[in-house]
Homo-oligomer: A and B are copies of this chain.
Amino acid sequence: MMTSVDTDLIRVLGDPLRLQVVTLLAREALCTSHLVEETGAKQTNLSNHLRVLREAGVVETEPCGRFTYYRLRPDVFEQLAGRFAALAQTARLTAEANFKRSCP
Task: List residues of chain A with CB under 8 Å of any chain B CB.
Answer: 3-5, 7, 10-16, 19-20, 22-23, 25-31, 33-34, 64-65, 67, 69, 71-78, 80-82, 84-85, 87-92, 94-95, 98-101, 103-104
Bound CA span A91–B7, Å? 22
- Residue A95 contacts which of B5, B7, B72 (CB distance < 8 angstroms)? B72
Q: Is the CB of B80 within 8 A of A92?
A: no
- Tell me how far the C-beta of A15 lies from the nearest C-beta in chain B, rounded to whole angstroms: 7
Residues from chain B with Cβ under 8 Å of A27 in the complex: 90, 94, 99
List chain B residues, Cβ under 8 A from A90.
Answer: 26-27
**B74 near A95 (CB under 8 angstroms)?**
yes
